[in-house]
Amino acid sequence: MSHRFPGRKLSLFRLTLLAAVVALLAAGAYIGWGRYNDAQAASAEPAIFAGYVDVTATPAYGFESPVSDAGKSVVLSFIVAAKDNPCEPSWGTFYSMDQAAGQELDLDRRIARLLQQGGSVSVSFGGQANDELALTCTNVDQLRDAYASVVERYNLSTIDLDLEGAGLADSTALKRRALAVAGLQSERLAAKKPLSVWLTLPVAPTGLTAEGTAAVAAMLDANVDLAGVNLMTMDFGGSKAAGTTMLQASTAAAQATHGQLDALYKAHGQDIGSDSLWRKIGLTPMIGQNDVADEIFTLEDAVGLHDFAVAKGVGRVSMWSLNRDATCGPNYPDLTRVSDACSGVDQKGQLFSTLLGEGLKTPQAEASPSASVQASAQATLPADNPATSPYPIWSGLAVYVEGDRIVWHGNVYAAKWWTQDEVPDNPVATDGRTPWQLIGPVLPGDKPAAQVTAPAGTYALWSADKTYLQGQRVMFNGRIFEAKWWNREESPLAALQGSPSSAWTMFSNTQVQQLLATKSAK
């Protein structure tokens, strides 16, 4: 005998509830899968640290000799329009790229030296002072070529566009810049040399300004593939509420910008996951004393910002600047006055770059053609050739004084002080005792530097029959000499040969060039 259990019909309410539960489970699975894919995509892009270096600041910063691993990745700043040519890139209007490669900066060689050590270099266009190229170069094709000339010169895989002031406010320049960068990016991609582009913008605790969002929108309108938007978390001024720390203002700015970028990308048909969007954000504090007197970014702020960046998965951390990553000396009296060479706070033996960059990657750039010859250790030391050496070959018989440059075993060295018969690449000499500073390798295409001579009659010829007072100048063998003190019958020949005890100081090539330029301008 069998028993039958009568079936139970589900009510309409229960069917609706069941369908809703199934839909929620499916949606949850979809969202979970989406978040997983987002996290995976974000983790595929490494978070990096790269500190800014002010190339033309005085005293010069030796980025080619990094003091920490964090200092091996640099953003060289700033390329702007030349004063006399609106489409010519220059370093801060002071040097053309060719001039920057000369003895005063020796920039190409120093870049090659950093690459030898596994470092990487990118270049920033714009900045607060002077004109970013898009402001003055009004032809898009010429503007693209100007950007390209810098990228090709330094074999860059990443550039930074630092837009402030007029460079940010000019809407026509925003569009022109975006079109030029999009064209360059497309050309590089076709050549299988992709170019990453970061947009660096001012920010408030409430996020990007209206001008900042317009700059991002202009790039997206032109189909520029932005690596990210780098926030200048500094100089907040009145936008920072009283009692708010620099860390709090910086993290608030980052959170707000994350939401703004989400809206901007969605408006352009790109729905980017939250984690991937954090990878498109960079944070750049001004270490120590900011330009706003009561704004000081402390060591504790650096630790907190680093931890925030790691927790959120921020794509890039920078700082302004590596030049300033040191405690000011006791002879610097006013710490509220921003220095190019120190932070204005007691760093207690620590480096902001180390605190901000801990655990973040240093991008590995391909060695440029100018550095590849020297990029690896060689079994035999290269022979130095006077015909291809930019400076004289070192000799144990010669006397060298501070600033003199020589070539030895394929590298260029500069004398720190008077020296004779001390081998430049002595492997056991400590930095404080060696009289030589390694600048970088001899580059392909190098040739002997031409000696700059002054025209006859610039100054009177030296005469053994005359008495000279301190500061008087003479000509000798086509060179200019200046008397150190009262002297008579003391030939400038000793100074020409490098003797520190000579009564005369010989003008360097740079000094002669500056003197001749001053005379011609009068």
Q: Residues 286, 335: contact at Cβ < 8 Å?
A: no
Residue (of 463, 515, 431) closest to 62 by Cα position:
431
Say whether the peptide bond before residue 481 is cis (omega within 30 degrees of 0).
Answer: no
Measured CA to CA, the distance from residue 442 to residue 370 in angstroms comes to 9
Measured CA to CA, the distance from residue 125 to residue 80 in angstroms comes to 6
In DSSP notation, 328-339 reads: PPTT---TTS--
User: Which residue stretches of 373-496 are H helix?
Assistant: 493-496
Q: Residues 367, 375: contact at Cβ < 8 Å?
A: yes
Q: Considering Cα of 270, then 230, then 42, then 278, what sign does the dihedral take?
A: negative
Marked catalytic residue, from 45, 88, 164, 358:
164
Name the token pair of 508: 């360097």
Measured CA to CA, the distance from residue 177 to residue 143 in angstroms comes to 8
Amino acid identity for residue 186 in this structure:
S
In DSSP notation, 199-262 reads: EEEEEETTEE-HHHHHHHHHHHHTT--EEEEEEEE---GGGSPTT--HHHHHHHHHHHHHHHHH
Q: Residues 116, 368: contact at Cβ < 8 Å?
A: no
Distances (CA, A) of 356 to 156, 197, 350, 365: 24, 22, 11, 21
Q: Considering Cα of 83, then 84, then 86, then 91, what sign does the dihedral take?
A: negative
Distance of CA 60 to the CA centre of its chain: 13
Which residues is 170 bridged to in the sheet?
Answer: none
The answer to whether 490 is a known catalytic residue is no
Output the CA torsion 306→309→310→312 (10° steps).
150
Name the token pair of 30: 């979809």
- Residues composing the chain: 522
Output the CA torsion 228→229→233→234 (10° steps).
120
DSSP state of 264: H
Amino acid identity for residue 437 in this structure:
Q
Q: Residues 269, 221: contact at Cβ < 8 Å?
A: no
Catalytic residues, which ones?
164
